[in-house]
A and B are shown apart, each in its own frame.
Chain A
């Protein structure tokens, strides 16, 4: 959670709050992080010498469901922010809760997927395809986990600090992060899961 006070002391040159600006910069950096991971996956996806191959193991319908779930949590994020900015504490809390729930469901799907893959013979070290897959989706999963922690902290803080607490900027920063994690997943879904069918 970005603190309430940091950077709020001065008018900025760009007119963008320091905290929001910082998140944008972090996102730029994260783009290169995921870009590298995706490139690594693309290079290595056909290089697995043993174990199951991508087309043998992916379950596209389940992944489509989890993608839909993550997309919807992004919508919930927009509504939560809307509630916060309109000083509607009920709406703010409800939709923040939905974001958390969406994230948790996504993580559940990922847990299911990973254990299912392992059960079908694709472990972390089975093949370099598997390693690259787990590295990429695992890294994304950790990002979702961080987002879930962040959003649930905001939710808990809201109950602690009462009905008059509306963290506009922190929530917007968290929202930027959450939307980014969502967008990255769409890229991963396309490149990792859908490209198999081309």
Chain B
């Protein structure tokens, strides 16, 4: 069956196991969900533009809050990072594909179905409204009797499974499939941040999996894990959620740091300053990230000793992070900086991420956190980290690697206008939120009285959001325009440093015709100069007849298996009868697994 599948057209995309195609599918899907998350944000900001507004109701607003957070984290930033992992990891380490190509396809389909399941809540008219961390017992059956929360619980469960499968895949790929000469400390820094991110995913996802199962049991089978009336504890959910949730923050930011490091080095024409220290600080951040979860819970009454320890641990994270920031600046220092669009995004990342990091240091102190917790100061903080930080870096990454993926540059003029719309809009939205927090505006309130002194800042924030939205529209215009009309890009279009630039743009399906070999960090860049520093053009990868390379066969089974998982997860929506849907889903999963196992890879 597998061998007869077509190489082009829609079927070829559905059955593909090529990491590059899967990467593109991840990116397109993530950007599609960005539209959702963005529209949700605009609706919220419109509601909060003026006091006592009644543009949406309180429960709709809570739904928008929840879906905006969940979509942006689980369906935009994480999968867009996964798109970069997919597309770039084999190219950067000189491998023909990932370790398990079909598992890769499986993880994409599971992610897609999970995202659709979560957003199906719109169609069903039952929005999950417990916030992105969905605190028990508000999310329990008693206080959220509709299926809204179920969409969240099961959607996140399914998306989490996709991430876990992908994480195992990339972890093994990076450790097992590097090209000749690429020892661990000669890997591009993006690969290092990818590797640490996968470790965080592998170890933190099981915790949220258990927490979500417990919540599903509470909601569907009447257990009381988080119900105080049955002896459960609401605080248990918070611990389990944040044991996952804090590493999750680094899962979102570490890939962005890797992208920024690559872009800064390329457009400064200098190696990354202090590469090995950057590697160690990435590992340190990942390690410490597991030991600080309770700083999200300072107001729950942890007791003084726990607070002292968790606040000290949190402050400690500032050290490796600070080292990174100064190393980035030192990378720029003494370089030949050209401000292309990706570079603009990367440099703005340093400034915006620093702001977010510093306000983070502020509420690492529990007494300050007593005032900041659940106020707009926190909203400002994490948007500076995740939006000014992670999202800006990911946009930089899109502009940087777009020519590699499509063979065409994205339009620089539109890109720069988008960048400035984003910078102005972003800061106009989120900087005033610090003031709102200082003035005591709680987060997640759908309306406020006019006499609180919050009016001006809220109006400014809303205007900023509209400006950002303009930038977002421009981005999508640019994306579509450049796919068809962008300036042609050669193999090494940015004067790059890593192995992916030795390949044609777009790269051939088999990646490397000749197995690459490296002798040092940034090997490709170093080979561009002879001993006296004069420019020599190193050889690029030749192109050969694809038929001479053995490629993994395309397969339907990942899609079948993923569909079985979707059916399994849909069961709880149909109450008692749903068990049969779940059983049927299990059957489809078994079919997929056996089909997969006996198929020739």
Q: State yes or no: do A and B touch (Cβ within 8 Å).
A: yes
Contacting pair B225 A13 (CB below 8 A): no
Contacting pair A32 B214 (CB below 8 A): no
Q: Which residue of A4, A28, A37, A153 contacts B202 across the interface (Cβ within 8 Å)?
A: A28
Q: Which residue of A6, A9, A48 contacts B231 across the interface (Cβ within 8 Å)?
A: A48
Contacting pair B96 A10 (CB below 8 A): yes
Known contacts being A3-B599, A33-B209, A40-B214, is A22 close to B223, with CB within 8 Å? no
B242 to chain A, nearest CB (A): 13
A127 to chain B, nearest CB (A): 7
B240 within 8 A of A: yes
Contacting pair A128 B231 (CB below 8 A): yes
Whole-angstrom distance between the alpha carbons of A36 and B208 in the complex? 9
B110 to chain A, nearest CB (A): 16
Known contacts being A3-B599, A3-B601, A5-B600, is A22 close to B225, with CB within 8 Å? no
**Across-interface contacts of B91 in A (CB, < 8 A):** none
A132 within 8 A of B: yes
**Across-interface contacts of B594 in A (CB, < 8 A):** 153
B546 to chain A, nearest CB (A): 16
**Across-interface contacts of B224 in A (CB, < 8 A):** 125, 128, 131
Whole-angstrom distance between the alpha carbons of A44 and B214 in the complex? 13
Contacting pair B209 A13 (CB below 8 A): no
Contacting pair A22 B99 (CB below 8 A): yes
Whole-angstrom distance between the alpha carbons of A7 and B552 in the complex? 10
**Across-interface contacts of A10 in B (CB, < 8 A):** 95-96, 177
B222 within 8 A of A: yes
**Across-interface contacts of B296 in A (CB, < 8 A):** none
Whole-angstrom distance between the alpha carbons of A2 and B601 in the complex? 11
A198 within 8 A of B: no
Q: Interface SS of chain B: helix, strand, loop or mixed?
A: helix
B1 within 8 A of A: no
Q: Which residue of A1, A12, A30, A127 contacts B176 across the interface (Cβ within 8 Å)?
A: A12
Q: Which residue of B168, B213, B599 contacts A26 across the interface (Cβ within 8 Å)?
A: B168
Contacting pair B100 A18 (CB below 8 A): yes
B210 within 8 A of A: yes
B205 within 8 A of A: yes
Known contacts being A21-B172, A128-B230, is A40 close to B236, with CB within 8 Å? yes
**Bitwise interface map of B from 181 to 221 toward A, beta carbon under 8 Å scored 1, else 0:** 00000000000000000000011111101110110010001
B102 within 8 A of A: yes
- B542-565 contacts to A, CB under 8 A, are 550, 552
B232 within 8 A of A: yes
A79 within 8 A of B: no
Contacting pair A22 B232 (CB below 8 A): no
Contacting pair B176 A135 (CB below 8 A): no
B269 within 8 A of A: no
A100 to chain B, nearest CB (A): 17
- B321-359 contacts to A, CB under 8 A, are none
Whole-angstrom distance between the alpha carbons of A127 and B178 in the complex? 52
B513 to chain A, nearest CB (A): 15
**Bitwise interface map of B from 83 to 111 toward A, beta carbon under 8 Å scored 1, else 0:** 00000000000011001111000000000
A185 to chain B, nearest CB (A): 18
**Across-interface contacts of B552 in A (CB, < 8 A):** 6
- A10-61 contacts to B, CB under 8 A, are 10, 12-14, 16, 18, 21-22, 25-26, 28-30, 32-33, 36-37, 40, 43-44, 47-49
**Bitwise interface map of B from 236 to 273 toward A, beta carbon under 8 Å scored 1, else 0:** 10001001000000000000000000000000000000
Contacting pair A25 B210 (CB below 8 A): no
Contacting pair A25 B209 (CB below 8 A): no
- Least CB separation from A18: chain B residue: B99
A101 within 8 A of B: no
Contacting pair A29 B176 (CB below 8 A): no
Whole-angstrom distance between the alpha carbons of A33 and B214 in the complex? 12
Contacting pair A131 B206 (CB below 8 A): no
Known contacts being A3-B596, A10-B96, A125-B223, is A131 close to B217, with CB within 8 Å? yes
Contacting pair B102 A6 (CB below 8 A): yes
Contacting pair B223 A128 (CB below 8 A): yes
**Across-interface contacts of B214 in A (CB, < 8 A):** 40, 135
B4 within 8 A of A: no
Known contacts being A5-B601, A43-B236, is A33 close to B223, with CB within 8 Å? no
Contacting pair B205 A29 (CB below 8 A): yes
Contacting pair B206 A32 (CB below 8 A): yes
Whole-angstrom distance between the alpha carbons of A131 and B223 in the complex? 6
Whole-angstrom distance between the alpha carbons of A34 and B539 in the complex? 51
Contacting pair A128 B177 (CB below 8 A): no
Q: Which residue of B168, B210, B236, B596 contacts A22 across the interface (Cβ within 8 Å)?
A: B168
- A97-125 contacts to B, CB under 8 A, are 124-125
**Bitwise interface map of B from 580 to 601 toward A, beta carbon under 8 Å scored 1, else 0:** 0000000000000110110111
B175 within 8 A of A: yes
Contacting pair A32 B96 (CB below 8 A): no
- B128-186 contacts to A, CB under 8 A, are 164, 168-169, 171-172, 175-178
Contacting pair A18 B176 (CB below 8 A): yes
A165 to chain B, nearest CB (A): 13
Contacting pair B225 A132 (CB below 8 A): yes
Whole-angstrom distance between the alpha carbons of A32 and B210 in the complex? 10
Q: Which residue of A2, A3, A33, A124 contacts B221 across the interface (Cβ within 8 Å)?
A: A124
Contacting pair A131 B225 (CB below 8 A): yes
A107 to chain B, nearest CB (A): 17
Whole-angstrom distance between the alpha carbons of A55 and B101 in the complex? 49
Contacting pair B168 A25 (CB below 8 A): yes
**Bitwise interface map of B from 385 to 423 toward A, beta carbon under 8 Å scored 1, else 0:** 000000000000000000000000000000000000000
**Across-interface contacts of B209 in A (CB, < 8 A):** 33
Known contacts being A14-B176, A124-B221, A135-B213, is A7 close to B100, with CB within 8 Å? yes
- Least CB separation from B600: chain A residue: A5
Contacting pair A21 B217 (CB below 8 A): no
**Across-interface contacts of B178 in A (CB, < 8 A):** 13
Whole-angstrom distance between the alpha carbons of A26 and B100 in the complex? 14
Whole-angstrom distance between the alpha carbons of A132 and B226 in the complex? 12
A177 to chain B, nearest CB (A): 13
Q: Which residue of A4, A29, A44 contacts B164 across the interface (Cβ within 8 Å)?
A: A29
Whole-angstrom distance between the alpha carbons of A44 and B599 in the complex? 45
Contacting pair A28 B203 (CB below 8 A): yes
Known contacts being A3-B599, A40-B210, is A12 close to B231, with CB within 8 Å? no
Known contacts being A28-B202, A153-B597, is A135 close to B217, with CB within 8 Å? yes
- 18 extra A-B contacts, CB within 8 A, seeds A18-B100, A36-B210, A40-B240: A3-B596, A5-B600, A6-B102, A7-B99, A7-B172, A10-B95, A13-B175, A21-B99, A25-B171, A29-B205, A36-B207, A40-B236, A47-B232, A47-B233, A131-B225, A135-B213, A135-B214, A153-B597
Q: What are 11 A-B pairs with beta-carbon distances under 8 A?
A: A3-B596, A9-B550, A13-B178, A29-B202, A29-B205, A36-B243, A43-B236, A48-B231, A124-B222, A125-B222, A135-B213
A-B pairs with the 8 shortest C-beta distances?
A33-B206, A12-B176, A131-B223, A5-B601, A32-B206, A36-B210, A49-B231, A1-B597
